[in-house]
Structure 1
Amino acid sequence: MYKALIIDDELPARRAIRALGPWEQYRITEVLEAGNGLAGLQMMEEHQPQIVLIDMKMPQLGGVELMRQGGSVCAAKFIVVSGYDDFSYTRSAIQAGAVDYLLKPVRAKELASAVGKAVELLDLEALERKRELENGILSNLSVPLLKETIFSAIIGHNGRLHEIPELAEFVNTRQDDLFRVLVLSVLNLEEVCRERFKGDYHACYYALTNAVNELMGESTGEAFSFKSARYGQELVVILPGKVSAWASGDLQAVMGAVTRLQAFLGFDCIAAWGGKPCCLAELDKAYHSARESLLQTDLLRGGTRSAAEAGVGTAALSVLAVKEKVQHALEMGSGMVAAGVLRQYFAAVRAGGRFTAEMMLQALADFRLLAVELLADSGRAGGEPLAEYDRLFRSPVMRFEAFEEQVTGWFEGFITGQLQRSKPPEKFDVAKVRSYIDARFHEELPIASLTERFYLSKEHLHRLFKQQYGSGIHEYVLKLRMEKARELLGDPALKIQTVCERVGYRDQNYFSKAFRKYCGASPQEYRSALLVKQGADGTL
């Protein structure tokens, strides 16, 4: 599909070219127009047309200069349309790169020939680019890497390399072949990589994929596995759908191979099939189906596990439900109590009887959010603690025992660090905040100004103030203002507007509503009642 742009300062000429052009015949789906050279140059840069028809002589920017400048912003084929039958114009146009030179008035047959010539050149260039791409791929990639690139592109929706015939033949696959997709997640990848491969992830993955290919392909020799581009601890295995065990989705055969993999290299895996045998183009659906099943694997079950054994259990416990308890432990200065809260959480998870890979991922996200909120409560940003958390859980799905141990260990260290950093040289005296408010309650007192002045987070300041005085800062300021307003209303010489301003309100209506809500009467009603009482008492 191509786009064309007509650039001519004469409207009748543009209309004639649009009417006569064989646009549909040559797969030109959009025809644009510009009334001068400068506008045409802007449209070339914005719309990137493949064919540009240019009048040779226009004000502001002529045809030759337009082709010269346009060639730097747009890879188009130029057709010159001119009212001048002059060899010098023709030569200039050809030198500037025009594929044809047409004289006005334009004839349909000549226009069709010129457009056809431009489209032919465009088609040849596209074919050459495709060949160069294919040759580059074939010459620079090994067969396994090429197969991984093709399968990864399908699964990740990153291209349609499998539709290039040369590539399909090169990796010995056909469009009508059927495949099964199996997804494995290595629960102890970090541990095995560290202990058996000295932290060399490349060597670790190489050994893992080769072992899986050998174990899963013993009967056919056709298994092909590769690391998921998005989830580092996952392995995608492509198997021939024609093999009976794979076609029927025999998990026993799969788990047998997984058990041998653990015995051979120490990899502890969970596995899931991705639907029925499918063609190459539908591998993405099969992969996502397998991954959804994989996430339902119950990690509380011992031994080799698969998604088919997930079972049914209670819903996941919310990590954020323990937030207040952990916060309270921090306020008490007790790291042991905080760690105990986490251990209680894990005990409750075990008692629930089911904890899937999906629940583990959610719990890890919630634990991280809990850490973020605890840091915010203390007035600190994430920084190194969260970076350490992300490094520790780079492979987030693991054995439940390792998950419990690592989360608890990290939080114990995190809480200890929080307690050490939160210890001030001396206990903060919240009375300083009260004194500051007492002296300025009639002014604007946003919480942000208090947090900046006393170097406390908003949450921590609220908590300290309420613990000390039994009310929040907002309620305390309101009380001061209303009590002062009561006092001032006892002076009949003061206007209510003056009282309103002296206690920190600019809007008398708003002040009246706030006063009525607090005192049960409007300022005027309160003053009248007060004056009556004072008259009765003889205090006027």
Structure 2
Amino acid sequence: MLEVLIVDDEPLARESLKYLIDWEEHGFAITAEAEDGVRALELIRERHFSLVLTDIRMPRMSGLQFIEQLQECSEAKVIILSGYEDFDFVRQGLKLGVTDYLLKPVDEVELIHVLQRVVGVIKERERMKRREQLGLTVLRDQFLRKLAHGQAGGQELGEQSELLGLELGGSCCCLLLELDFLSGEGKEISEQDMELKRYAIRNIAEELCSGSGYLFEESEERFGIFLMGDGGNVESGKARQLAEALAAAAKQYAKETVTIGIGEWVQAAGRLADSYSGAEAALDGKFLIGGDTILTGRADRDGMKQQDTGKLREDLLEAVRSNREEALMDALAVLWDSFRAGGSNAGGGASAGAGDHARMTVLELLVQLLQVVKTSGASSDTLFNYELGDYERVMRAKTIDELYAITASKCIGVLELLRQMKELQPHHVVTEVKKIVQQEYHTNISLRSVAQKVYLNPNYLGKVFKAGMDQSFNDYLLHVRMEKAKQLLLGSNKKVYEIAQEIGYGELDWFYKRFKAYVGISAGEYRGKSGR
């Protein structure tokens, strides 16, 4: 049954409306009534209603004022009750988005007609939500993610592309769009606001790449785009043009910045995983220059001169991975000897050409070290953060020795971090995470904030926790919050909105949806079982 709230300052009007028709026969149940807008808002903040019938003239708060405030905290449909003399008010109410209006005294046939329309609107809204959750978008996301990670090819690639309406022929490349407000530091955002912003940016991206590419959700903070080529000679420019349009639109419409990595163009969809890897590597450069930028794949980075130092850097990285400090220092010495051999000036420092080459090589090395840390599952926040000025320190290094000190410090820091990771016991991590959730479930807690506390990468922590608990972090957090809500509903006299706030939900509607999905009945119905 769809719950109905009647708001009218005349008791007789409320009573006559309650008995005018058989409400349950039409799928509705009048579960509450209020004498004015103030009391009605109190009820709406405590309970969920699908429909509100409200008088336009009431004491303490006009019907229009009530409707404006109602729309800030509820998705309930609104029907205005008015007299002939109130039509100007009705017109204003329709501008506010009310569903319909009825003239007093209310006619039985007209009321039934309006209720049928309301049922249709509500059902269509629910159908749209279900389609979004279970429809083609989800299936496409799943397949495109598999393609990005090299898990779809051959016959499956052709069959799934045709089934999902994807045209993946010819040249193509991958763009990765990262939401700066989720990947940045020090910016807390509610779960509902996060979802709204992600939804808005996804819609923007889908509209901009419509007809030329396909968007998919890669993770909580990243969207991927497979851009299809047109056979021309300006494909690289096409990818950058799209990236620039995406960044500008996110700022204009979602009021947020994004960072975009562009992978290399490949000649067939079966090789999109290579382009994805390039876009991912490009995004790793974000810590050097910050967010709100567009980064290109490693093959497009002019001046890196990888052919000169690639083997030396690989020797150094292998020493870090294998946790051999002596070998690391030897590899650093050999690399710096190669820099010095490139030329020196009269003062004994690096020459202009050698200095630029050394700086670019170190920047590339820092990106590779970041990838090593991420692969290990450790948190990179303590060592790699563009706000710490790594990029600026490298570019401002005045001597080759100063550059060495910066690089050696970073390499040793990574080596020590990997050493700590080897000593880490997964069950201790799970126990610590559970303890944090039990203590902080009432705050704006997230997997990312907990990962910072235990010094692990969020993705790695999520995998460790799921392996140890057989459920995801978000499912466990929901379980803790909902069980606490059930205790408070049955064991206290607190209002529902107070309980929602106490367990970490700032938005009452969001709590209602979560609770009903978890328990199977509304919070009010659950409390009613105890006789409270």
Which TM-score applies when normalising by structure 1?
Answer: 0.32
Q: Which has the larger radius of gyration?
A: 1
- Could you tell me the TM-score, scaled by structure 2's length? 0.33
